Structure 1
């Protein structure tokens, strides 16, 4: 736990009062931003986390007296635009979060500002489309269309067109569409033999596929299924699902977040009530159900029920091991592995569960593990947008160098968007290349499945 200057209590989070009449009051929001910016300016502990803080401090340092009150309110929004809601400042750095009386919540203050900007029409059509993962994912799995779309996205004319239309940097890595969606190609249920619940883990799993796994890298989902089958854990795919809403949250489009919640929570709550652990293999999606939706809808019983049933896959697997119910018959060496802990994994308050699993594997076979715990700079769409792509590569440079340490055979991250960004950053910085694999894929390889 971060030392909090006389306050040794764990950080607490207030509900997001987004439906109150004053939430979208710009003058009130700017007043609160000024209060928090003044505290941040006096502390500066978070300067290395993202570009919001250097932007803020440069604005303050450029004033005649070096104080926040001289910064133009219009310039506050430059700070807002650099925040991608990673939550690291709140969960790992800031000594003034509640219950401290200064009550600093930088990310949710930025969220409020983003919501005001969105409501005032300050978010363009291109950004809104980039955040609509359900829409551009609909082309996945359609024969010929997928191949054509993937091929076009690699050409310079198309990349220039995407830059002009959507603000996507021509050099930024973009995910390919899958030739077959995970939800189409995976068995709907598996391992029908009942297994007993553990002290910490339900003995059956419902898989929330996520947009990325479903539309872009279904192999991650198939690897998760293989691990569950090998450990004889019954599973089922969630009957139906929409985007978790995180991309919309990052835009400040809270009404869309609410619509996604209304589509997902009633479905997921049925599994929670039936005693399933709900697994999501994308940290941002898991965090959405564990933190953001429960804070947006604190009085919704089903939302809170889903929160309690939601697991990161490695949180579930390592808890299963502590219950004495996980197989450890690992067969294959993994060699040198550089593993990156993504921000939205770090802030779930579950510890380093993926690292714990890789170390468990290392007790049976050879794993030379290098763990890197720092923001990669990708941060959803931030890393692909034209105005911020170069900044994202700059933020990630220390990670790229740390991941290349000792010449790894494999680089890995629970967030494959971060993983691909790291792979690109290593290439751009002339660092040795390594194969990129999701940690679930590494565990499957270790099992020999």
Structure 2
């Protein structure tokens, strides 16, 4: 599609040409950074989104000319490091994205710069450790290791040592590891009732995700209980590895490709067997629905998986519209402050979680649509944690307003970050619960 100046069309995106040498050419990257930074400095609409734009504008204002092209190229990395690839500037703010003639794709340019840096080996040990969720999960599967890691998380002295050694902020919330993995304990799909000679339509294949499998398996058990209650047959996919999103955020594109080679053949089998693929973590859904197709546009299996992948509440609302979702709720939830995570917003799903929770009688759902600041591993790093808390301040206040009974986010990492921000700000506390947990609670199952 040709670029159009002043187009009112939805943003379009080109595939990532990441397997060419030109993609990693630092001189070419610097030229594109200079061009895009000039455009951003003249617009400044994205100043409130994250730390990347204020950092850029400060660099511009420190030049003698007040022009972005006069920034010392050695300072470009300060902007790149502040970007955590939430995509909100591209999807919600920037007026110059394709098909506009200027063709600005700020997040993918930041990804290209991160990838070149990673290719040169300029990456901290901490970043490699935090992004290797499979290795961390396997290590934590050893009971004594799990107990030790969790004890370290709870001990200020040990957290200080971890901060010194790895640069993980001692004040940042960190997830504990569950004593029993979700995939080991998951219940099998129950025998389903027959209606007019046929099973209720629809079947689901669950991709557990690293976080649900290793850290909070209760979210996965809640999802299975909801599927069973609604007579939806399910299976857990036969095997799985990390989706690759933590690696993508570091610029490790070869690592992403390796995870894709592990996961896609397995998931494509279920997609072609007519299963709806589902994961309870928005970042994982985003990876399969959007990011991998941009990295592997020619791969038919990737396209099949993308087409079959669903967010849980997207799926439940779709069934409700077909009169297939039960509404036999037994418990009101009262006031719920619900946060829409960035990786949910950029999928253009709409407010599906809000729609589902609003079906519950005696439940008032307030929606907060703004970045919490956590952004995966970004919010736990020593050099960025306070920035992450500052970005989240408006969210903390909005979520606590009105003294809700519950606060919730589809991204449980964001939920914990918000909970910490509310606590540190001295705002009225509310119970943190994943939206799937809340829906299960309302059903009374």
Q: Give the TM-score normalised by structure 1.
A: 0.95
Greater shift in the superposed pair: 183-192 or 331-340: 183-192
> In structure 2, how many angstroms separate the alpha carbons of the residues matched to 1:403 and 1:437?
13
**Are 2:408 and 1:412 equivalent residues in the alignment?**
yes
Contact 2:5 2:99 in 1 (8 A): no
Post-superposition Cα deviations, 1:123-142, rounded to whole Å, max 9, x if no partner, equal 11111001111111124443
Specify the SS of the correspondent of 2:286. Answer: helix
Counterparts in 2 of 1:45-194, with a 5 A limit? 45-192=45-192
Work out whether residues 279 and 312 of structure 1, in 8 Å CA contact, stay in contact via their aligned partners in 2: yes
**1:383 counterpart SS class:** helix
**What per-residue deviation string (whole Å, max 9, x for no partner) do you get for residues 81-102 of structure 1?**
0000000000111111111111
Q: Which residue of 2 aligns with 1:238?
A: 237
- For 1:176 and 1:202, how far apart are their aligned partners in 2? 38
CA contact (8 A) 1:377 1:395 kept: yes
Match of 2:209 in 1: 210
1:314 and 2:313 matched: yes
Q: For residues 114 and 94 of structure 1, do their structure 2 counterparts lie closer, same or farther at Cα, with a shift above 3 Å needed?
A: same
Give the conservation status (yes or no) of the 8 Å contact 1:195–1:233: no
Structure 1 residues 194 and 31: alpha-carbon distance in aligned structure 2, compared to 1, 3 A threshold: farther
1:224 match: 223
Q: Are residue 258 (structure 1) and residue 257 (structure 2) matched? A: yes
Deviation at 1:20, TM superposition (A): 1.5
Q: Which residue of 2 aligns with 1:269?
A: 268
Q: Offset of 1:152 from its aligned partner?
A: 2.2
Counterpart in 1 of 2:362? Answer: 366
User: What SS class does the counterpart of residue 292 from structure 1 fall into?
Assistant: helix
Whether the 8 Å CA contact 1:183–1:209 is kept in 2: the answer is yes
CA contact (8 A) 1:191 1:233 kept: no
1:5 and 1:372, CA in 2 relative to 1: closer, same or farther beyond 3 A?
farther
Distance 2:98 2:193 in 1: 46
The answer to whether the aligner puts 1:437 opposite 2:436 as a matched pair is no
* Secondary structure, counterpart of 1:86 in structure 2: coil
Contact 1:140 1:216 in 2 (8 A): no
CA contact (8 A) 2:6 2:100 kept: no
The 1:415–1:209 alpha-carbon spacing in structure 2 relative to 1, beyond 3 Å, is: same
* 8 Å contact kept, 1:60–1:71: yes
Candidates 364, 381, 384, aligned match of 2:380: 384
State the alpha-carbon separation in 2 of the partners of residues 379 and 265 from structure 1. Answer: 25
State how far apart, in whole Å, the 2-side matches of 1:194 and 1:105 are.
51
Q: How far apart are residue 21 of structure 1 and its match?
A: 2.0
1:47 Cα deviation after fit: 0.6
Which has the larger displacement, 404-413 or 133-142?
133-142
- Distance (whole Å) between structure 1 residues aligned to residue 194 and residue 434 of structure 2: 28
Aligned counterpart for 1:394 among listed residues 390, 397, 405? 390
2:371 to 364, 372, 375: 375
In structure 2, runs of 5+ residues without a counterpart are none
TM-score w.r.t. length of structure 2: 0.96
**Cα distance in 1 for residues equivalent to 2:15 and 2:5:** 24
Question: Could you tell me which residue of structure 1 aligns to residue 346 of structure 2?
Answer: 347
Corresponding position of 1:302: 301
- The alpha-carbon deviation at position 188 of structure 1 amounts to 4.3
How far apart, CA to CA, are the structure 1 residues paired with 2:33 and 2:306?
Answer: 29
Task: Report if aligned partners of 1:210, 1:282 keep a CA contact under 8 Å in 2.
Answer: yes
What is the CA-CA distance between 1:202 and the residue it aligns to?
6.6
Alpha-carbon contact 1:195-1:234 (below 8 Å) kept: no
Distance (whole Å) between structure 2 residues aligned to residue 133 and residue 188 of structure 1 = 26
SS at match of 2:154: coil
Matches of 2:207 and 2:192 in 1, distance apart? 18
1:433 CA displacement: 1.3
Distance in 1 between residues matched to 2:137 and 2:195, nearest whole Å: 35
1:29 alignment partner in structure 2: 29
Give, in angstroms, the shift of residue 144 of structure 1.
3.7
Shift of residue 194, structure 1, vs aligned partner: 7.2
- What is the CA-CA distance between 1:349 and the residue it aligns to? 1.1
C-alpha distance in structure 2 between counterparts of 1:370 and 1:296, whole Å? 36
